[in-house]
Amino acid sequence: MTPSIDLPAIFDVAAEKMLLSIKEGRQSHATGNIRESGSELETEFRQFLSDRIPNLYGVKSGYLFDASMSCTPQIDAFITNNELTHALKVTSEDSVYVPYTCAHMIFEIKNSSSGIKSYLDQIGNISRAIIGMRKKYVEKYFEPGSNLYHKPLSFLFLGDTENGKLRDIQEWYSNNDIKPDYIILLDRSLIIAAQSQFFTMDHLSFYDYRSGDEYCIFEPKSSICKKGHMLMWIYFCIISNLNLILHGNNNQIIEFTKIVENDYPMKKKAVLSSATSW
């Protein structure tokens, strides 16, 4: 018998731990501990990332700021380069204040989708604040029209979406210009992301967000360990883009992430704007 490793099954265990943390949070909520009830999933998700990304990177929660003392809203999690990040303030709850240039990816992590429009507003406001910080820098130090406006890759992670309304997301997307790069619906094993209308591929690539102009709903191609399949795709998307941002695409990393992207695809289920159901 040839030794083997079941990657989707490994990530499926991680997904189930996250869903269990939501149940634990609800128990805290029932006792009146509102603060703790929302932190269980956040803690589990940050630990999931911290345990699996290379040691070069760190996963933190807190705030980003610029030299003019502008500050983002609180961010549930963001990924930084440990060697280049300098936290100027750490609170008693381990929230950090770091320069906006240190964050490569940002995450808002929510137990449910009951307040989906407000969650989308939150991550939109964070991205808008970062874009504003970069814009001030570009306008001060570069020629007008320089194409240097940039925001970290953004993720909205939703745990339990049983009561979530697809229409709420559709309405928000039709009325807002700054959207998260990915919405992850853990319990449904779905991803909402942008893909170019000019490409005919039926699956999502790790870099489609760079040229995507049509938001679609994607699901695992496999019917086995669907939550694990989807979570694994997100993980390798994160690794692939960290590699692109900081290493200019190291071939040793690309060789493996490309295999995962092709062998464990997230296939297009529907165009978001015209979808009638999950």
Strands (E), the chain: 57-65, 75-81, 89-90, 96-99, 103-112, 153-160, 182-185, 190-195, 214-220, 266-271
For position 219, what pLDDT does the model report? 97
Mean pLDDT, 10 residues at a time, the chain of 278 residues: 88 97 78 64 96 92 91 96 81 84 95 95 96 83 62 94 94 96 98 86 89 94 94 96 77 84 94 95
pTM of structure: 0.92
For position 86, what pLDDT does the model report? 79
For position 91, what pLDDT does the model report? 74
**Residue given tokens 């997307």 in the structure block:** 173
For position 225, what pLDDT does the model report? 94
Sequence spans of domains, the chain:
7-274
Beta-carbon neighbour count of residue 220 at 10 Å?
Answer: 24
Question: Nearest-CA neighbor of 106 among 131, 67, 125, 79?
Answer: 79
